[in-house]
Amino acid sequence: MTTVPLGPIGPSPAVRAAAVRRGRLLNRLTIGWNALEGVVAVVAGLAAGSVSLVGFGLDSGIEVSAALVLAWRLAQERRQGCTQAADRRATRAIALSFVALAAYVGVESTRDLLGRSEPEASIPGIVLAGLSLVVMPALARAKRQVAPVLGSRAAVSEADQTSLCALLSAVLLVGLATNAALGWWWADPAAGLGIAGLAAVEGARTWRADSLADTCCD
């Protein structure tokens, strides 16, 4: 079993610097993947009239914004050291991104259900959801390994958002596959409501989150 070398108040400077570098690498991978995923999902969703697919694409955009927030947080540490104020602002910004997604997708899904808007089947959307279901859990696990060394609640929140993206992929896949195979048009906006609900819960939880117990921040 490996151990993390500790300094007077936490991981040694060398271990912490390595964690910051790894965090930045994972951050870049997140931005690249989600930027591509978001564009494909929104274009495919608009073409098929799928609110859940568009919502998934918007979540990918929010994931990019959360990754950019965390990039700012890591840059702050490189310049000034770890500070609670920077970490807290980053965490709150990520929480607000969840709430914005929940509000938009919730309204659009409800409108589609009430208006009986019937989306077309989207094979690109099904393929994308399947790929995301493979990539996102692995990325989230890697982020969670880095977050305790950083002592950053913002890093944990951003990893949680990646995990949420994996869960949303599963919800999306069920909705799109059901609509394509069985013609159940309501499965798509129902999946959208599921996405909105999960995003709202995660937004509230992130907003109320306290700093990590083992944080190095002052």
Give the model confidence (pLDDT) of 174-210 as tens digits: 999 998 999 899 998 898 898 889 888 888 887 876 5
Average pLDDT in the 70-77 region? 71
Average pLDDT in the 70-97 region? 70
Mean pLDDT, the chain, as a whole number?
Answer: 80
Average pLDDT in the 80-104 region? 74
**Tokens coding 93:** 């910004």
**Tokens coding 100:** 């914005």
pLDDT value of position 40: 95
pLDDT value of position 3: 45
pLDDT value of position 61: 84
71 has pLDDT over 50:
yes
Q: Dihedral of CA 69/70/74/76: which sign?
A: positive
pLDDT value of position 215: 40
Give the 3-state secondary structure of residue 15: helix
pTM: 0.72
Q: Using alpha carbons, select from 204, 13, 195, 165 the residue that is nearest to residue 104.
A: 195
Average pLDDT in the 72-83 region? 64
DSSP string for residues in 168-203: HHHHHHHHHHHHHHH--TTHHHHHHHHHHHHHHHHH
Give the model confidence (pLDDT) of 140-179 as tens digits: 888 888 877 777 676 777 787 788 888 889 888 999 999 8
CB 55, CB 198: distance < 8 Å:
no
Residue labelled with tokens 């929104």: 42
Task: Output the CATH code of domain 13-208.
Answer: 1.20.1510
Q: Using alpha carbons, select from 153, 142, 164 the residue that is nearest to residue 214.
A: 153
Q: Where are the beta strands (DSSP E) in 11-106?
A: none
